[in-house]
Amino acid sequence: MTDKKLRMPADERRALIIDAATTVFGDAGYAGATTDMVARAAGVSQPYVVRMFGTKERLFLEVLHRALERLLASFREAIAADPAVPLERRLGLAYFELTTDRGILLSLMHAFALGADPVIGPAARCGFLDVYRLLRDEAGMTAAQATDFLAGGMLANVVLGVRMLDDYDTDPTVRELMQSVFPEKLDIIRSSHPALRAPAASRAARD
């Protein structure tokens, strides 16, 4: 651990580790990730991660809770925003802003796939219902509107999670799908995608 990290307040070190864990769990999934991988990504020691969070399970729950908190906070900001803009557009743009952080959305998807887990499953179900209740109770959506909105969000998660954009330049069907899923912000989605950032980084290194 560097001297700088040693001097950081505990809450900042905790946030740093959760940030790293969000990326690691998003990329590797719950089963594939280890506390050692998180420690290396955060630039701290593995024993330090264990001392702060105890187990991989508890760390994953922290990642899940923070992701849900960010999602709910983003939706609440959208609900309170300019009423001249249609509500579903406001919520959709807020959700889009989160899609640029693959770690958050992929960690949520990994959690939702762990429904049979005795600890993570109930937490994931509770979080998903919190989002649904917000759409129903705070956004004032009907059940049909809320489920349609969630269906669109999950579709966005899936196409990003399987890295559909990897084939954007070579497959016209992929282009059609992505243009339909992200009709307004596709250029930003593409510019933030790892498959498109890597070649640019390689060219910069050669230059």
| Single pTM value for the model | 0.84
**How confident is the model at residue 196, as a pLDDT?**
46
| Predicted confidence (pLDDT) per residue in 131-181, tens digit | 999 999 999 999 999 999 999 999 988 998 888 999 999 999 999 999 999
**How confident is the model at residue 198, as a pLDDT?**
44
Domain ranges of the chain: 3-162, 163-201
| Predicted confidence (pLDDT) per residue in 95-114, tens digit | 888 877 888 989 999 999 99
Tell me the C-alpha to C-alpha distance, in Å, between residue 17 and each of 30, 49, 80: 16, 7, 31
Helix, strand, coil share of the chain (percent; to 5): 80, 0, 20
| Predicted confidence (pLDDT) per residue in 65-92, tens digit | 999 999 999 999 999 999 999 999 999 9
User: pLDDT band at residue 200, thresholds of 50, 70 and 90?
Assistant: very low
**How confident is the model at residue 199, as a pLDDT?**
40
With beta carbons less than 8 A apart as the criterion, state whether 44 and 1 touch: yes
What is the Cα–Cα distance from 120 to 98, expressed in whole angstroms?
22
Nearby residues of 85 by Cβ (< 8 Å), 6 or more positions away: none
Flag the least confident range among 118-127, 175-184, 195-204: 195-204
| Class level of CATH domain 3-162 | mainly alpha
What is the Cα–Cα distance from 104 to 68, expressed in whole angstroms?
9
**How confident is the model at residue 6, as a pLDDT?**
54
Maximum Cα–Cα distance across the chain: 55
Structure-token match 């991660």, residue found: 49
Tell me the C-alpha to C-alpha distance, in Å, between residue 33 and each of 23, 25, 131, 181: 10, 6, 26, 29
